[in-house]
Chains A and B, each alone.
Chain A
Amino acid sequence: MPTDSATEAVELIACHECDQLQRLHYPPRARVVRCCRCGAEVYRYHPDALNRTLALTVASLLLFIVANAFPIVAIDMQGNVLSTSMFGAVAHLWTTHVPIVAVLVALTTLIVPSLTLLLLIYLLGLMQLGRRPPGAAELLRLLHLSRPWGMIEVYLLGILVSVVKLMAYAAVIPGVSLWALVLLIPLMAAMLGSIHTDLIWRRLEQLK
């Protein structure tokens, strides 16, 4: 059970994959603590995790805005130049007869990533200012719940596959958004990997 993060303590921790009860020296000496029985990651620690997450989130948000503001790709098909943006692609699916697919694509590529970024900036930004963000528990739960549904890296692969498919028929012009996405994917992965829910909670308890 957590104590003040400034002092060294031995805590009990249960593996979330095999329920093995084990001792954890807090703060741990290793960055990643693995379960002694099944090898699952039971604890990830970085003393400056919150600042890193906030910095990476701000950078990701800027790139995400760029990725949404410009067209992903354009094609030149016998003189007809056509282009689409991330939102345009979803809107087109909605107007043709597959609204369920449109909702899923919108959720996984637009709603969940933007929600993740905005929630983290709100929570970590206020905590940085030394205030406890109102609704922190509910928002952190929402963040935890929505996490598996952000699939922006799969989307980038989908764009690349589409580009290769189209190259046989038309001249393909990559848009600004595509380059923004190429930069955004590793940044977003680093950001998601740096999120440290337990440390956020320890800080929140101190801010009470």
Chain B
Amino acid sequence: MTTAQRMRLANCHDCGLLSRLPGGHGHCPRCGAALHFRKPASLAKTWAYLIAAIILYIPANTLPMMITGSIVGTQADTILSGVVYLWTSGEWPLAALVFFASIMVPLLKMIAILLLLITCQRRSRWQPQQRIKLYRLVEFVGRWSMLDIYVVTILAALVQVQSLASIAAGPAAVAFAIVVVLTMLSAMSFDPRLIWDPIDEEQEASGENHDTSH
């Protein structure tokens, strides 16, 4: 098994061309993008975005997401109380959808990135196949957390009846939107090749060398 890095070859992140990179730094001959073997400072950036996201996840869940005003008075709903309200009013499939997209997805995503970061930092060789699947899942599922933001956007724009009813986005919407952006940036700055590097180094040390082809 040989990796591109060991052969001093690097994939262009933008156009996908494989080219020689003897010094470790250079530019892609085809599209001109900066070339490197691994994303620079990948772990540090991923940690930074993740920690910021974890901190903002607290106000995103404790502050009101949606403020509903009506003749009876105003009511402030957090994400969770909105889900509970949907559940008690009989809309349980919708409650499950919002609960999954707004609470479970961001939480599980942060836990997954944390797990990937800790295992890569410790240069763990544990379950690379499962960890790469986890990484793909994190990349795929992250965007769906925007659901609640869009719901608030549409409801706030629609429900504006003078003195009868009005809906406004609460401060949690800002925190939650930033959490979604930060977790996406965190997943993007993580370099999945770091999962495999310790395994490749071990194989290099043991002197194995298989060539593979399609």
Q: Interface with A: B8-16, B41-49, B118-126, which one? A: B8-16
Give the residue name and chain of the A residue nearest to B187 (CB).
Answer: A148
Q: Is the CB of B3 within 8 A of A14?
A: yes
Q: Is the CB of B89 within 8 A of A154?
A: no
Does B57 belong to the interface (CB within 8 Å)? Answer: no
Does A126 belong to the interface (CB within 8 Å)? Answer: no
Q: How many residues of A contact B (CB 8 A)?
A: 68
Give the residue name and chain of the B residue nearest to A1 (CB).
Answer: B18
Give the residue name and chain of the A residue nearest to B199 (CB).
Answer: A18
Most chain A beta-carbon contacts within 10 A, residue among B158, B173, B213: B158
Q: Which of B9, B97, B156 is in CB contact (< 8 Å) with A14?
A: B9
Given known A1-B18, A158-B147, A162-B155, contact A137–B161 (CB-CB < 8 A): no
Per-residue 0/1 for B165-190: is the Cβ within 8 Å of any A Cβ (1 yes, 0 no)?
A: 10011000110011011001000100
- Give residues in A with beta carbon < 8 Å to B: 1-2, 11-14, 16-25, 28, 33, 36-40, 72-73, 75, 77-78, 80, 82-84, 88-90, 92-93, 96, 98, 100-101, 104-105, 108-109, 137, 140-141, 144, 148-149, 151, 154-155, 157-159, 161-162, 164-166, 168-169, 197-198, 201, 205
Q: How far is the CA of A80 from the CA of B128 in the complex (A)?
A: 58
A-side contacts of B15, CB under 8 Å: 140, 197-198, 201
Q: Is the CB of A84 within 8 A of B16?
A: no
Q: Which of A16, A105, A140, A205 is in CB contact (< 8 Å) with B153?
A: A105
Per-residue 0/1 for B142-155: is the Cβ within 8 Å of any A Cβ (1 yes, 0 no)?
A: 01101111111111
Q: How many residues of B contact A (CB 8 A)?
A: 70
Q: Is the CB of A141 within 8 A of B33?
A: yes
Most chain B beta-carbon contacts within 10 A, residue among A14, A88, A137: A14
A-side contacts of B7, CB under 8 Å: 21
Q: Which of B1, B9, B14, B164 is in CB contact (< 8 Å) with A37?
A: B1
Instruction: Determine how close the nearest CB of chain B comes to the CB of A91; give it in whole angstroms.
Output: 8
B-side contacts of A36, CB under 8 Å: 212, 214
Q: Is the CB of A72 within 8 A of B184?
A: no
Q: Which of B2, B154, B188 is in CB contact (< 8 Å) with A89?
A: B154
Q: Is the CB of B149 within 8 A of A104?
A: yes
Q: Is the CB of A157 within 8 A of B147?
A: yes
Instruction: Determine how close the nearest CB of chain A comes to the CB of B64; give it in whole angstroms.
Output: 12
B-side contacts of A19, CB under 8 Å: 3-5, 11, 193, 196-197, 200
Q: Is the CB of A161 within 8 A of B94?
A: yes
* CB interface residues, B 42-83, toward A, < 8 Å: none
